[in-house]
């Protein structure tokens, strides 16, 4: 069998991937900051590392792989959004508003991830559940002489850490020139970064040896990864925009606390997305959320296939033409796979070889076109499953959707709600239809809309709560 080779950002070389322990393969990926809907740029790392996760599961066995993707639920962007909501007349206190913003956004994120065909990670820790671990790491950083306290802030002292800049291959001078660092008068060095900062009374804050405050962004990932995966783990992933300073800072913090440990042994970074050759920006009108695309009738499978058409390390240029091509391929593969009803997923060696060569999926896809032409459907199906496109085969998604739970008890109730929502869609009451979708998501039921007239497919996530489903049904009693 082909050995997996990946381009390791740390060594700038393509290397054979050898996990520390093949019975405990560990992957950490930086997840979303939850203040708004995910856009296609946020979708790319989620899709890229979902395939890494699937390949690890295939190579090492499902039970031997742990995938952690965190949720950043404390951040200035979230606080600012809450202040905006309050300024618009919401009378609740900021902390309650923040709670509803983060909960709602996490629900949307789960829906989007499901629509894109991503598996749920093994753990999805929220930063605010790991404050004691962060405080303990910050104490150690100070104790080891790698940080300092000034005006209620705790800062990491980059000059105390000679390896700083190694991951991003930058020295202090070029970093200063290249990075947009927050210049603050109390910093010894412009590149010193915040570990802890004060929080005003109406914003979320926690008691600490340095006063009431909250963590900086970088320390969150160091704390959650070491807590859930240990101080050394196999692979750390994220977008190339996170390599510096975020990942450099994670590495510095974790090495400062665990000087004898390696932190992550391999690092993978995915490229960015442009739209029609331009940088994606709200001001240019080329900024799409996943939901925007779905609302235009572009399915999760199509979005995924567009992403997979470009090697993960290269920049994607998102164009209507690519969407159009992917739409045709998805339809063709779906049609071919529907010609038989008893597929046995197989794996094509040439496809596997391409994937194992630093995830050369564009090459793997051209192999899949060959398999489709030759009607080697078992191999086509197995290979598509590795890419997270198993939903192209109807028989499989129905099996997947209903796999884990005895659904008989609440299926009736759910179907009635879904039928009511379908009525709303038919009468073009999209506000209510969206409201029902969001409430279902809060109850842990994720929807994937189908063409008009068909009930959506659904899946339950970890938050599933049958009682909320009942109360939702009674809320729409009149219609139902
Ligand atoms: Zn991170």
Rounded to the nearest angstrom, the distance between the alpha carbon of 130 and the centre of ligand 1 is: 14
Give ion ligand 1 contacts, CB < 5 A.
Answer: 30, 221
Rounded to the nearest angstrom, the distance between the alpha carbon of 256 and the centre of ligand 1 is: 16
Distance CA 113, CA 264 (A): 25
Question: Which residue in 273, 350, 347, 348 sits closest to 309, CA to CA?
Answer: 273
In 3-state terms, what secondary structure has residue 278? Answer: strand
Q: Is residue 378 part of a domain?
A: no
Rounded to the nearest angstrom, the distance between the alpha carbon of 34 and the centre of ligand 1 is: 14
Q: Is residue 457 part of a domain?
A: yes
Kindly list the distances between the CA atom of residue 195 and the CA atoms of 121, 155, 270, 322, 450, in Å, as whole numbers in the listed order: 27, 5, 26, 42, 46
Question: Number of folded domains in the chain?
Answer: 1
Cβ neighbours for 75, distance < 8 A, ≥ 6 positions apart: 33, 35, 217
Q: Is residue 233 part of a domain?
A: no
Q: What dihedral do alpha carbons 84, 89, 90, 92 form, nearest 10°?
A: 100
Q: Is residue 219 part of a domain?
A: no
Q: Is residue 217 part of a domain?
A: no
Question: Which residue in 436, 443, 435 sits closest to 468, CA to CA?
Answer: 443
Q: Is residue 120 part of a domain?
A: no
Angle between helices 408-426 and 430-442 (to 10 degrees): 160
Rounded to the nearest angstrom, the distance between the alpha carbon of 100 and the centre of ligand 1 is: 23
pLDDT tens sequence for the chain (480 residues): 689 999 999 999 999 999 999 999 999 999 999 999 999 999 999 999 999 999 999 999 999 999 999 999 999 999 999 999 999 999 999 999 999 999 999 999 999 999 999 999 999 999 999 999 999 999 999 999 999 999 999 999 999 999 998 898 887 766 665 566 667 888 998 899 999 999 998 999 999 999 999 999 999 999 999 999 999 999 999 999 999 999 999 999 999 999 999 999 999 999 999 999 999 888 888 889 999 999 999 999 999 999 999 999 999 999 999 999 999 999 999 999 988 878 888 899 999 999 999 999 999 999 999 999 999 999 999 999 999 999 888 754 443 343 444 556 677 788 888 889 988 888 888 888 888 988 888 888 888 777 667 788 787 776 777 788 888 888 887 777
Residue 232: count of CB within 10 angstroms of its CB: 17
Distance CA 396, CA 319 (A): 30
Rounded to the nearest angstrom, the distance between the alpha carbon of 357 and the centre of ligand 1 is: 26
Distance CA 333, CA 313 (A): 26
Helical spans, DSSP H, in 243-318: 248-257, 290-295, 300-308
Beta strands in 60-177 (DSSP E): 65-69, 147-150, 153-156
Q: What is the DSSP string of 327-362?
A: HHHHHHHHHHHTT-S-------HHHHHHHHBT--HH
Total-model pTM: 0.84
Question: Which residue in 216, 266, 219, 273 sits closest to 241, CA to CA?
Answer: 273
Element (H, E) at 54: helix 40-60
Rounded to the nearest angstrom, the distance between the alpha carbon of 304 and the centre of ligand 1 is: 23
Domain, as residue range, for 465: 408-475
Beta strands in 38-192 (DSSP E): 65-69, 147-150, 153-156
Rounded to the nearest angstrom, the distance between the alpha carbon of 295 and the centre of ligand 1 is: 30
Rounded to the nearest angstrom, the distance between the alpha carbon of 46 and the centre of ligand 1 is: 13
Distance CA 91, CA 427 (A): 33
Rounded to the nearest angstrom, the distance between the alpha carbon of 244 and the centre of ligand 1 is: 11
Rounded to the nearest angstrom, the distance between the alpha carbon of 225 and the centre of ligand 1 is: 9
Rounded to the nearest angstrom, the distance between the alpha carbon of 180 and the centre of ligand 1 is: 18
Q: Is residue 68 part of a domain?
A: no
Q: Is residue 226 part of a domain?
A: no
Rounded to the nearest angstrom, the distance between the alpha carbon of 314 and the centre of ligand 1 is: 21
Rounded to the nearest angstrom, the distance between the alpha carbon of 374 and the centre of ligand 1 is: 44
Rounded to the nearest angstrom, the distance between the alpha carbon of 109 and the centre of ligand 1 is: 17
Q: What dihedral do alpha carbons 345, 348, 351, 352 form, nearest 10°?
A: 80
Rounded to the nearest angstrom, the distance between the alpha carbon of 143 and the centre of ligand 1 is: 23
Rounded to the nearest angstrom, the distance between the alpha carbon of 29 and the centre of ligand 1 is: 7
Rounded to the nearest angstrom, the distance between the alpha carbon of 216 and the centre of ligand 1 is: 11
* Token couple for 186: 């109390």
């Amino acid at each position: 069998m082909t050995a997996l080779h990946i381009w390791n950002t740390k060594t700038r070389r393509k290397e054979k991937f050898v996990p520390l322990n093949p019975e405990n393969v560990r992957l950490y990926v930086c997840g979303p900051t939850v203040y708004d809907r995910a856009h296609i740029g946020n979708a790319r790392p989620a899709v890229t590392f979902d395939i890494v996760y699937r390949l690890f599961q295939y190579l090492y066995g499902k039970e031997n792989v742990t995938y952690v993707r965190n949720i950043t639920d404390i951040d200035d962007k979230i606080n600012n959004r809450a202040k905006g909501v309050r300024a618009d007349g919401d009378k609740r206190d900021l902390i309650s508003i923040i709670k509803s913003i983060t909960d709602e956004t996490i629900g949307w994120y789960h829906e989007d991830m499901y629509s894109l065909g991503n598996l749920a990670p093994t753990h999805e820790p929220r930063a605010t559940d790991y404050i004691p671990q962060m405080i303990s790491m910050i104490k150690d950083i100070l104790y080891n002489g790698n940080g300092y306290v000034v005006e209620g802030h705790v800062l990491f002292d980059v000059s105390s850490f000679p390896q700083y800049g190694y991951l991003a291959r930058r020295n202090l001078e070029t970093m200063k020139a290249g990075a947009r660092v927050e210049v603050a008068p109390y910093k010894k060095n412009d590149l010193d970064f915040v570990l802890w900062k004060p929080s005003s009374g109406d914003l979320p804050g926690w008691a600490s040896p340095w006063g009431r405050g909250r963590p900086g962004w970088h320390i969150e990932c160091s704390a959650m990864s070491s807590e859930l995966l240990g101080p050394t783990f196999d692979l750390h992933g994220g977008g190339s925009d996170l390599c510096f300073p975020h990942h450099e800072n994670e590495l510095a913090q974790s090495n400062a606390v665990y000087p004898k440990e390696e932190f992550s042994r391999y690092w993978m970074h995915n490229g960015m997305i442009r739209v029609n050759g331009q940088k994606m920006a709200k001001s240019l009108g080329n900024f799409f959320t996943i939901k925007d695309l779905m609302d235009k009738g572009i399915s999760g499978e199509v979005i995924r296939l567009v992403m997979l058409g470009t090697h993960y390390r290269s920049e994607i240029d998102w164009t209507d033409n690519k969407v159009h091509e992917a739409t045709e391929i998805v339809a063709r593969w779906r049609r071919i796979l529907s010609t038989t009803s008893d597929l046995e997923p197989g794996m094509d060696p040439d496809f596997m070889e391409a994937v194992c060569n630093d995830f050369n999926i564009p090459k793997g896809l051209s192999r899949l076109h060959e398999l489709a032409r030759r009607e080697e459907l078992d191999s086509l199906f197995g290979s598509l499953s590795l890419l997270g496109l198993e939903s192209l085969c109807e028989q499989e998604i129905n099996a997947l959707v209903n796999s884990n739970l005895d659904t008989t008890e609440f299926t009736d109730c759910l179907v009635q709600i879904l039928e009511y929502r379908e009525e709303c869609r038919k009468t073009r009451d999209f506000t209510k239809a969206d409201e029902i979708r969001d409430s279902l998501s809060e109850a842990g039921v994720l929807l994937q809309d189908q063409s008009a007239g068909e009930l959506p497919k659904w899946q339950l996530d970890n938050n599933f709560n049958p009682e909320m489903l009942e109360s939702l049904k009674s809320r729409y009693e009149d219609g139902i």
